[in-house]
Structure 1
């Protein structure tokens, strides 16, 4: 590898009007040796005496300043192939001609290519020397064979048992290396040499530095080939590899680790191929349902078209599959970045994702982009009901750019690989077949998203009420992901806009709006964690005779979180079926004028909306601040913070009592993390694809039109002392609160029977 100083000189002095190539003339050679003087039109006295002819006028060359080189290098790290607009912008900023910028980038790319070729040639020379030395040692051994047992002369052809085993192992490793290199070539889109993949550095302590400064690949990490001798991490190409963060990796040898990663890569490529075909192909894989117009997977055609990449379906499992397309107010790059970042992914889908972590980053992409990014993730996915268990999945997430403005992100469970490495099948309750989305950029910052969800799960764990919904792919399916993405991206677009919606209260400052929305987001996240018993909080489930059969009661201690009152928190949740459409039920529960019909906090009268922040075009997507009417209110120091959400997949009404002085701080832009709240609320979903509700005698579901599944959940503080213990009376109180609320809602909607 050449030094940075030489690189800078090449980048500065290589300018020529010949676009087809970069050939240095003899005049340029002389100019470079002379120090790059700007004035090159004159000659020396000796030159003039030597010939009667007038001296030839030399071309004037420009030497870039250190600041210009620094700017050019910075852009080259991000984009080695800038378009015309970027070059024009850079030329204006650096006071250079556009052709100078263009030629600088051409020279820089050529210089990079030369360096890489030089390094590959060096590797080949090392391998050649190694083979020559090996050949000589074998010839010497053949001249004087010695028996390893007795030390005397050995018969020609006699090989020790240990050497036989070593040769067999060496052949196996070479076959594995060839397979990995073939996979890498498919992954990177170019052939990979097995010699380049297997060769280490010339010295034991040196490393192949593809880092910042020396060659412009600023986004790449420093790779030590000697530590990863076999797998995809050591291709010697532009595939950056992140160190493993899994504790299990520490107990694996380099060969085992690279073998597992090659299996991951093979699985990711197969899953990506399946996802793209599933997203782009209509009939016969996807059939349009006659009832409701939903897309239904043709399982027979699917099995004929695809080979199961994670093994056969476990006994007792059922399959759910769905596909949905929609326009989203977000560009493709931003969406891809959101999906590849576990924190951003959870924030974009707060009601679906209970918890997620990135457990291992195998590759963070190529050329400073997410193209080729491959990582291991763990997630807890939820439907807001205590009757549907949380789905815990370990999966690979692989991102690939298929064309200009077209990206795809695929997820696939890794249980089959884990079973192979652990030696036995340990099936989880859910397996994720190739699922994800294909994103295509559209004009005006929009994207067309085609989402595919495909899973196998143990249906016996799901309550009878929710089986039609989950089986039709409406609980964890593509429709819910796309609807949530559309609602959240619309909310982000409104918040980033400088125009405040007309129905918003203009008294709230921009900082106050952000603080209120952040507080509402925390309130909704805590509500979801209390309904589904995810590992976000350490809940303890209670079993007591004083609680209804379908009500789940849990407790936890809250002592360290400034956003919650200290003491014992009690959470109770249940789900019921109502013969009411989801839209009608949502409109009833979010109406502050009808709140007294079910909410004991309203003190028997209507409530007044004090503040309103819109989160979408639909009036149902908003954050509100409510208070009881003055003539009925005996709690003058209490307000109610409420968030309501609605989309094509369902709706949500979450609220919590808050202190007036604390809310004044928040509405003025103060920190909302210290506002203590315990949320309660409702989650509403359709009861199935065609409104299939439960039968009256407990038999198979009967056909009902427009039914809803309503989840009711409360969190209350039963005792504020750190040493407090839960009492039976507290459990009975929250159970009665849920039962009373459900009965009041039924009575108000005239559906008691």
Structure 2
């Protein structure tokens, strides 16, 4: 077996995500735009009337002019975050040698200025649209009065135009008006009018001019949020993708408008476009009917790719506007869907929307979508995201690939119009209808995951909707103020409860970002582990305050078990059975000190566990654990935590500086329920796909070399854990 010092090393755990959740909750409205616009220097340096001698003339107030460098730095920060929190303002003030109040009032003034400019521009746009409508009205009246019948030459009546022709003309006018409006909004942010664009994308082959593509220099500012920056920079994801040029932008806008139209029709259509899946758990696309309904779309399917499309819906516990904000903010989107989105970045914002919301927002993005296993390649997409309001209570957010803009061969995954319709409900909830439609080459998927991927459950609409529903329940739990404290009275305040949930969220994001087969990871395969294969990789940490310097070794393996996912999940999350598989607990008694429910399912919770080990060096060890489950998969993720640091969190302290290095399990079904193609002991017969992952600090010196002994230790650790789990949950063949 292993030496105690190895166990101690395993529990020197640190967070690897580097991602900080915004301090404001997702449901919180934006800062009041009518904040005071007083100058910071007036607050800090101006004299009040009581301080002046009444017989003297009032002294002139002294004003502080910011340097060009200070203004430029704050301008750059404003582009990414117009509402900085206290921590960000303090960091800016320290870096720019300003007072925090000066920074605060500069941002207030800047927001007020931008709002005024936005309102002036919007008013001018409305006046222009009004004039255009008036002119169109006059022109139409004149055309009607002068219309003649093509057959007899006499006056024509509207009824003589066919119904289909009328509908086509109305639809064409509506689409052209929407393109013109979005083009005008984008032009405002581009800085000059957009060029005239073609009205037939397919005839142009979606191939813009590449004469001005500069792969080395981007036309955008500092990147907005990056997620999953664990083993490589999110910038690595877009090394071969240049930002859109001026010539590309009109084509992007027209493609987004057409994609929005297709998404809405697909979300609202019924049979024969959509048919039930084999297990009746979701709806899948009738491809023949799709190409009859949308003959043009974004072009024919590239050779070597296959279609994968599904639709699902759910009622979730969240306001519709908060959902829109989550989808349009890359940080929040990546956080809520951390099990699916391994890395994401906004490359350029073409429009932020109008009227103070996201109506008309348009942004170019890149992202990687994953299954929590190193045996399933990620799907990388370069796409435009467009948000639009339909009526008073419905919003739509659509993605569509921009692969025609890539200076590269045909991609391995292409995203046809995909996204969701969000409908406001009277009780404050929202109904979400999700459409996921991709064309993909998945030949590199491991055999044991092929049935799951082919069924559409791995990347399809049901997984997105299930994850959203579960995360909305979790967010409701975070924001709740009337929840009871944890068992045993450990959590003594709502602030402590909130801090513990934020710490658990960071732990989950770190685990999910490091367990998949992202292109940022460089895996080395070890054989003979008792599972299919063990994949290992290393990371060096030096300057992150949440991680002490050192070398971290991450190991993961995936394998199939002839046991239902629910049985595996219940076994792994139960503290009473932990000693049967957790080598590091060393047979000690595990006691739950605190429990926070995260939804209706009792399996969705955050727990604080104490391990009372016979080993004195491990006595009174604490473990933070989050378990979560939905119809598409389950997680049990945990990390040993320092007792002193955890006491700070339980009293409402900042959880961002607590050292974490998470380990855990991802449990997926081996295929769709009720559609098994194999026998009782084959993949697809109702068993589980289990991924086991460990992260261990093997050396506290970042410049040290990784020893073969460390690799052998983690390999033995994961092998022994796998064997124990198999022995504990395996049952006789049904």
TM-score (norm 1): 0.66
- The match for 2:436 is 453
1:527 aligns with 2:511: yes
What do residues 338-366 of structure 1 show as CA deviations (whole Å, max 9, x unaligned)? 11111111122121111211111112212
- The match for 1:267 is 255
Query: How much does 1:688 deviate?
Result: 0.6
Q: Secondary structure at the match of 2:427?
A: helix
- Distance in 2 of aligned mates of 1:246 and 1:404: 42
Query: How much does 1:600 deviate?
Result: 1.2
The unaligned stretches of length 5 or more in structure 1 are 1-72, 81-107, 122-181, 198-209, 211-218, 233-243
When residues 544 and 386 of structure 1 are mapped into structure 2, their CA distance, relative to the original with a 3 A threshold, is closer
RMSD value over aligned CA atoms? 3.8
The unaligned stretches of length 5 or more in structure 2 are 1-111, 134-170, 199-212, 221-243
Would you say the 8 A contact 2:612–2:619 is kept in 1? Answer: no
- The match for 2:361 is 373
- The match for 2:483 is 500
Query: How much does 1:656 deviate?
Result: 1.0
1:667-746 aligned at under 5 Å gives the runs: 667-690=650-673, 704=685, 706-746=686-726
- Distance in 1 of aligned mates of 2:627 and 2:713: 26
Query: How much does 1:605 deviate?
Result: 3.2
Q: Which residue of the other structure, out of 533, 537, 541, is the alignment partner of 1:558?
A: 541
The answer to which of 448-457 and 306-315 deviates more is 306-315
1:285 aligns with 2:269: no
Q: Which residue of the other structure, out of 304, 307, 314, is the alignment partner of 1:319?
A: 307
- The match for 1:357 is 345
- Distance in 2 of aligned mates of 1:543 and 1:192: 53
When residues 549 and 327 of structure 1 are mapped into structure 2, their CA distance, relative to the original with a 3 A threshold, is closer
Higher relative contact order (CA 8 A, sep 6+): 2
When residues 542 and 319 of structure 1 are mapped into structure 2, their CA distance, relative to the original with a 3 A threshold, is same
Q: Secondary structure at the match of 1:412?
A: strand
When residues 118 and 328 of structure 1 are mapped into structure 2, their CA distance, relative to the original with a 3 A threshold, is closer
Would you say the 8 A contact 1:512–1:670 is kept in 2? Answer: yes
Q: Secondary structure at the match of 2:572?
A: helix
Query: How much does 1:437 deviate?
Result: 0.2
When residues 693 and 378 of structure 1 are mapped into structure 2, their CA distance, relative to the original with a 3 A threshold, is same
- Distance in 1 of aligned mates of 2:674 and 2:533: 21
What do residues 700-742 of structure 1 show as CA deviations (whole Å, max 9, x unaligned)? x6652x3111111111112222222112222122112112111
Would you say the 8 A contact 2:549–2:700 is kept in 1? Answer: yes
- Distance in 2 of aligned mates of 1:738 and 1:331: 43
When residues 743 and 303 of structure 1 are mapped into structure 2, their CA distance, relative to the original with a 3 A threshold, is same
Would you say the 8 A contact 1:396–1:414 is kept in 2? Answer: yes
Q: Which residue of the other structure, out of 322, 331, 335, is the alignment partner of 2:319?
A: 331
Query: How much does 1:475 deviate?
Result: 1.0
- The match for 2:495 is 511
What do residues 484-509 of structure 1 show as CA deviations (whole Å, max 9, x unaligned)? 11111112222222211476554412
- The match for 1:659 is 642
When residues 489 and 245 of structure 1 are mapped into structure 2, their CA distance, relative to the original with a 3 A threshold, is farther
- Distance in 1 of aligned mates of 2:453 and 2:261: 26
- Distance in 1 of aligned mates of 2:344 and 2:711: 31
When residues 398 and 245 of structure 1 are mapped into structure 2, their CA distance, relative to the original with a 3 A threshold, is farther
When residues 543 and 617 of structure 1 are mapped into structure 2, their CA distance, relative to the original with a 3 A threshold, is closer
Query: How much does 1:570 deviate?
Result: 0.8
Would you say the 8 A contact 1:576–1:709 is kept in 2? Answer: yes
The answer to which of 385-394 and 624-633 deviates more is 624-633
Q: Secondary structure at the match of 1:568?
A: strand
- Distance in 2 of aligned mates of 1:737 and 1:569: 15
Q: Secondary structure at the match of 1:459?
A: coil
Would you say the 8 A contact 1:693–1:703 is kept in 2? Answer: yes
Would you say the 8 A contact 2:610–2:620 is kept in 1? Answer: no
Q: Secondary structure at the match of 1:488?
A: helix
Would you say the 8 A contact 2:365–2:382 is kept in 1? Answer: yes
Q: Which residue of the other structure, out of 298, 302, 305, is the alignment partner of 2:293?
A: 305
Would you say the 8 A contact 2:563–2:730 is kept in 1? Answer: no
Would you say the 8 A contact 2:589–2:613 is kept in 1? Answer: no
Would you say the 8 A contact 1:565–1:677 is kept in 2? Answer: no
When residues 279 and 510 of structure 1 are mapped into structure 2, their CA distance, relative to the original with a 3 A threshold, is same
Q: Secondary structure at the match of 1:514?
A: helix
What do residues 579-616 of structure 1 show as CA deviations (whole Å, max 9, x unaligned)? 11111111100000000000012221330011222221
Would you say the 8 A contact 1:604–1:632 is kept in 2? Answer: no
1:439 aligns with 2:422: yes
Query: How much does 1:409 deviate?
Result: 0.6
Q: Secondary structure at the match of 2:567?
A: helix
- Distance in 2 of aligned mates of 1:718 and 1:661: 23
Would you say the 8 A contact 1:743–1:752 is kept in 2? Answer: no
Would you say the 8 A contact 1:746–1:752 is kept in 2? Answer: no
When residues 641 and 543 of structure 1 are mapped into structure 2, their CA distance, relative to the original with a 3 A threshold, is same
- Distance in 2 of aligned mates of 1:246 and 1:622: 46
Query: How much does 1:562 deviate?
Result: 2.5
Q: Secondary structure at the match of 2:376?
A: coil
What do residues 241-282 of structure 1 show as CA deviations (whole Å, max 9, x unaligned)? xxx99976659xxxx944311211221122112111111111
- Distance in 2 of aligned mates of 1:617 and 1:381: 27
Query: How much does 1:629 deviate?
Result: 3.0
Query: How much does 1:693 deviate?
Result: 7.3
1:615 aligns with 2:598: yes
- Distance in 2 of aligned mates of 1:618 and 1:640: 22
1:94-133 aligned at under 5 Å gives the runs: 116=128
- The match for 2:631 is 648
Would you say the 8 A contact 2:579–2:586 is kept in 1? Answer: yes
Q: Secondary structure at the match of 2:443?
A: helix
- The match for 2:523 is 541
1:451-490 aligned at under 5 Å gives the runs: 451-490=434-473
Query: How much does 1:684 deviate?
Result: 0.6
- Distance in 2 of aligned mates of 1:559 and 1:333: 40
- Distance in 2 of aligned mates of 1:187 and 1:510: 52
The answer to which of 735-744 and 499-508 deviates more is 499-508
Would you say the 8 A contact 1:267–1:309 is kept in 2? Answer: no
When residues 490 and 693 of structure 1 are mapped into structure 2, their CA distance, relative to the original with a 3 A threshold, is same
- Distance in 2 of aligned mates of 1:525 and 1:488: 13
- Distance in 1 of aligned mates of 2:592 and 2:528: 37
Q: Which residue of the other structure, out of 372, 377, 401, is the alignment partner of 2:389?
A: 401
When residues 546 and 118 of structure 1 are mapped into structure 2, their CA distance, relative to the original with a 3 A threshold, is closer
Would you say the 8 A contact 2:373–2:517 is kept in 1? Answer: no
What do residues 375-434 of structure 1 show as CA deviations (whole Å, max 9, x unaligned)? 10111111101111122111111111111111111101110x215xx4xx6122211111
Query: How much does 1:221 deviate?
Result: 5.5
When residues 184 and 665 of structure 1 are mapped into structure 2, their CA distance, relative to the original with a 3 A threshold, is farther
TM-score (norm 2): 0.68
When residues 512 and 571 of structure 1 are mapped into structure 2, their CA distance, relative to the original with a 3 A threshold, is same
Q: Which residue of the other structure, out of 607, 612, 622, is the alignment partner of 1:629?
A: 612
- The match for 1:418 is 405
Would you say the 8 A contact 2:400–2:417 is kept in 1? Answer: yes
Would you say the 8 A contact 2:338–2:513 is kept in 1? Answer: no
Query: How much does 1:696 deviate?
Result: 8.9
Would you say the 8 A contact 2:189–2:350 is kept in 1? Answer: no
The answer to which of 323-332 and 591-600 deviates more is 323-332
- Distance in 1 of aligned mates of 2:214 and 2:572: 46
